[in-house]
Structure 1
Amino acid sequence: MTSMETVFLNDPWWLILIKVVGVFVLLLTWTIFNVWFERRVLGKMQNRKGPIMNGPLGLGQALGDGVKLLFKEDFRPARTDALVFNIAPMLTAVAAFASWSVIPLGGPVRMFGIETRLQLTDLPVAALLVMAIAGVGFYGFVLAGWSSNGTYSLLGSMRATAQVISYEIAMGLSLVAVFMYAGTMSTSQIVAAQAEPINLFGATIALPSWYGLLLLPSFVIYYVSMFGETNRQPFDMPECESELVSGHITDYSGFRYALYFLAEYINVATVSAVSVTLFLGGFHAPWPLNGTFLDQGWWTLLWFVLKVQIMIFTVAWVRAAVPRVRYDQMMKLGWKVLIPANLAWIVLLALVRGASVHGWWADPIFIGILIVFLAAVVAAIWFSGPEPQPEAEPIDLDAEFDAFAGGYPVPPMPGQKLITAVVAEGTAEPAGATASSARRAATSNGAEL
């Protein structure tokens, strides 16, 4: 039995049950707070008040919305698959809660006289388990669109599928650098590794080695992938109201709709908690409070919650500041920018780490090869830029303009003249007009075609 199993399997069953209920209650109350928090942040940033009427500072608004959904009529449209339609939201909600089973909320504490950790369990591949559970949660989106038997719902689920494939690859690759640097995929051991002082080229710096700073490209790519993973603006394509009404959840209402709403906000907290665990030191206090009494016991839970809440604030900030991008732009960013950049960064990091371990930095041949390689990469990037576009031909404002030449009506530029065609005596129609409209115009003047 490994030391990790010894730590996490010594808790009695009733203490494990208490921690499970505690995590469940924490996520529910945190979700209610985050709904209110996001509305207030958006209100401040958009020069409006946000919720202020129900309860002190509007805190009762989110609670009232949740109670309303619980008691709202819950119906299922006709011609839907009843079994799959009911299972889909439950699958997404269960996956949202399950991810928190391996996330360390704090360090060792004493509960009812027993030394335990504020974490349900840990595994040698705990970080990969979170990614796997997130992938399972998206089956709820796919099944919701398929079982609804509606066009908008099906298109929303198809978009969600393509989006999660794109951005889960980028998110998973961003974690590879963390695994390489920490030498483990256990969440608790990654947090412990970030508490150690920075060792840079053999020199020790009295600062915690947060991977968000040491592995900044990985952190930036992970942060961008967060929005694609959680369907948040500017990547909320599966349920953008201007195109798909509500996407995969268009046909849901009542309690089943509330499960999707709950899962969305829990997923935002989950990806924020993973970023804190893997990149921002986990539950440890920031410098210069690290290593003090404020970095022990129940204080660690406070630091974890504060860090996650700051990340959730940035998610709300992006929603208020960044407009929704086009679908092709989102997919291009994932496949042509984030994934190639991630692969190049992993190769470079592996080269640097291998050179440090084997002492290659003292070899001039290795330095020469490295310089030639970097020069080749820079040259390839420089010469593979976008091809120059031909200059647009000047518009002749005196020439007649056919608004229907491309198949769709296009408004003319200022000064351009529309081409007109005489249909009947005293009647003129734009060129490209349909025969039916020409017939109506002629008939209204008493003429026959």
Structure 2
Amino acid sequence: MTSLYLAQDPTLADFGRDVWWIVLIKVVAAFVFAVLATLLGVWFERRVVARMAQRPGPNQIGPLGLLQTLADGLKMAFKEDILPTKADKVVYFFAPTISVIAAVTALAVVPFGPMVSIFGHWTPLQVTDVQVAVLVVLAASSMGVYGIVLGGWASGSTYPLLGGLRSSAQMISYEVALGLSIVAVFMTAGTMSTSGIVAAQADATRFTMFGQEIPAPGWYALLLLPSFIIFFISTVGETNRAPFDLPEAESELVSGFMTEYSSLKFALFMLSEYVAMVTMSAVTVTLFLGGWRAPWPISVWDGANSGWWPLLWFLAKVILLVFVFVWLRGTLPRMRYDQFMRLGWKVLIPVNLVWIVALGGIRVTSGWERTDRLIAIGVPVGLVLLVALFWPSRKAEPKPSLQDEVRARPEGSFPLPPMDLQVPPSPRTRRAVAERQPANIGADEKEV
């Protein structure tokens, strides 16, 4: 049975052959996964941030506080739904649904596992796959920002409009870096199909340790380390997560594009944010972390990549990346908007272009194996990029005050008036003051 599973890894030919009820089961399962990921993601984030801040977090409703998010959702549903007077009612209503639909749609092309048996029918553990599946993910993530922009514009208020404009600028800036990172994956895997990219990472890379060859997964997070780093940073910027949550910066814009929303519409925006975070984590796992394939040393077990076990490895990798999202929120302060734009246009995009050119040279160079070349060049470049991004910048020296500049001048260079010199009032000012004085004041007093 194990050999049968391994021999039937999903390919493009395996899609489009399922009966209608299996397709319905997979679609409903993907939607339920998105909703449960939101409920558990909010709880997970609150618990992890509380742990980092040395406080308990939600722990009263349900075991370990697991039902706290459900209670908050019910409370939000029964709140009053307020419609601003100046809002465009149709666009205001549909904007949150656009963000949710775009975030959930991207899950359709994410492979959760290999070929499995569902009630006796062999089917890939994936809703669908096409030759340009990764472009579907990019299109869905690009469409998600329309809900934010339209919601900010339709609210008829200043702060939501500014938040929507910020989000559109972020999407334009970081979508370029995101797409360039995926170009490296296309060049290495030779396909844009998500199931094909996962299959391409199955080739083991062998390392010599203690005189023995040890196989390790050929994950692109190692082979294409610069692309992985830039892709994940761009993902954080695309999903408007801290420290890049500038469209909803409460210190500047109240709640940004969500300021005028309440009740279920506000909940839909929250749902879209967490679904987008989980979806992009799943896409990162698919493109760079081997997808549903087991990590080493679990991959040494023959049955690790067969049956329903790969679903467990896939979910574990997604949870690990979601933890990194939460970790960033609890660690890094929010960036200024000019710093955020400078990082995208002046750091990530140029480095990505140089790396793609270098990768093209690596692929045409003869003499050593492809994986050896990628590791020998990709890992050092990635480490240099990490050091450059997180190296503490030198603090600029404060500008000296006027008193310090005066003291620093050599004595006798040129005369300086005293710093507390009072400039006498002009004649016009003296006349205005005299006109406002009462008429019974004597002439002597007026002169004074």
Q: Are residue 252 (structure 1) and residue 252 (structure 2) matched?
A: no
In the alignment, what sits opposite 1:75? 82
Residue 420 (structure 1) shift: 6.4
In the alignment, what sits opposite 1:190? 197
Give distance in 1, aligned partners of 2:122 and 2:420: 83
AA at the equivalent of 1:76: L
TM-score (norm 2): 0.80
Counterparts of residues 126-165 of structure 1 (less than 5 Å): 126-165=133-172
Return closer, same or farther for 1:390/1:47 CA change in 2, 3 Å cut-off: closer
Give distance in 1, aligned partners of 2:421 and 2:206: 74
Which moves more between the two structures, 69-78 or 240-249?
Answer: 69-78
Give distance in 2, aligned partners of 1:55 and 1:422: 75
Q: Are residue 302 (structure 1) and residue 315 (structure 2) matched?
A: no
Partner of 1:109, secondary structure, is: strand
AA at the equivalent of 1:53: Q
Residue 40 (structure 1) shift: 0.4
Give distance in 1, aligned partners of 2:232 and 2:358: 20
In the alignment, what sits opposite 1:325? 335
* Larger relative contact order (Cα-Cα within 8 Å, sequence gap ≥ 6): 2
Residue 128 (structure 1) shift: 1.2
In the alignment, what sits opposite 1:354? 364
Q: 1:241 aligns with which of 250, 269, 290?
A: 250
Mapped contact 1:397–1:417 kept (Cα < 8 A) = no
Q: Are residue 227 (structure 1) and residue 236 (structure 2) matched?
A: yes
In the alignment, what sits opposite 2:60? 53
Residue 294 (structure 1) shift: 2.4
Structure 1 moving runs of 4+ over 4 Å: 389-395, 397-400, 416-423
Counterparts of residues 355-394 of structure 1 (less than 5 Å): 355-356=365-366
- Please list the CA deviations of residues 55-81 of structure 1 after superposition, one character each: whole Å capped at 9, or x if unmatched: 111111111111112222112110111
Residue 5 (structure 1) shift: 4.5
Listed as ranges, the gaps of 5+ residues in structure 2 are 1-9, 208-212, 370-380, 382-387, 408-417
Mapped contact 1:197–1:205 kept (Cα < 8 A) = no
Return closer, same or farther for 1:196/1:396 CA change in 2, 3 Å cut-off: same
Return closer, same or farther for 1:30/1:392 CA change in 2, 3 Å cut-off: closer
Give distance in 1, aligned partners of 2:403 and 2:117: 81
AA at the equivalent of 1:396: Q
In the alignment, what sits opposite 1:214? 223
- Please list the CA deviations of residues 169-205 of structure 1 after superposition, one character each: whole Å capped at 9, or x if unmatched: 11111111111000001000100111111289xxx97
TM-score (norm 1): 0.80
Return closer, same or farther for 1:78/1:392 CA change in 2, 3 Å cut-off: closer
Return closer, same or farther for 1:293/1:418 CA change in 2, 3 Å cut-off: farther
Q: 1:268 aligns with which of 260, 263, 277?
A: 277
In the alignment, what sits opposite 2:295? 286
Mapped contact 1:283–1:301 kept (Cα < 8 A) = yes
Return closer, same or farther for 1:114/1:159 CA change in 2, 3 Å cut-off: same
Mapped contact 1:194–1:209 kept (Cα < 8 A) = yes
Partner of 1:294, secondary structure, is: coil
Mapped contact 2:12–2:131 kept (Cα < 8 A) = no
Partner of 1:107, secondary structure, is: strand
In the alignment, what sits opposite 1:343? 353
Counterparts of residues 71-110 of structure 1 (less than 5 Å): 71-110=78-117
Give distance in 1, aligned partners of 2:401 and 2:260: 50
- Please list the CA deviations of residues 312-367 of structure 1 after superposition, one character each: whole Å capped at 9, or x if unmatched: 001101111111111000000000000000000000000110113xx699xxxxxx
Which moves more between the two structures, 50-59 or 253-262?
Answer: 50-59
- Please list the CA deviations of residues 379-418 of structure 1 after superposition, one character each: whole Å capped at 9, or x if unmatched: xx9xxxx9xx999557525969xxxxxxxxxxxxxxx987
What percent identity do the matched residue pairs reach?
50
AA at the equivalent of 1:331: M
Q: 2:324 aligns with which of 309, 314, 317?
A: 314
In the alignment, what sits opposite 2:73? 66
AA at the equivalent of 1:128: L
In the alignment, what sits opposite 2:6? none
In the alignment, what sits opposite 2:17? 10
Give distance in 2, aligned partners of 1:159 and 1:271: 20
AA at the equivalent of 2:98: L
Give distance in 1, aligned partners of 2:422 and 2:69: 58
Q: How many residues in Structure 1 have an aligned counterpart in Structure 2?
A: 386
Give distance in 1, aligned partners of 2:220 and 2:227: 9
Give distance in 1, aligned partners of 2:256 and 2:69: 23
Residue 206 (structure 1) shift: 2.2
Return closer, same or farther for 1:315/1:420 CA change in 2, 3 Å cut-off: farther
Mapped contact 2:162–2:247 kept (Cα < 8 A) = yes
Aligned CA-pair RMSD: 3.1
- Please list the CA deviations of residues 294-315 of structure 1 after superposition, one character each: whole Å capped at 9, or x if unmatched: 2211111111000000000011
Mapped contact 2:178–2:234 kept (Cα < 8 A) = yes
- Please list the CA deviations of residues 103-147 of structure 1 after superposition, one character each: whole Å capped at 9, or x if unmatched: 001111110000111100001110111011110111101111111
Return closer, same or farther for 1:208/1:242 CA change in 2, 3 Å cut-off: same
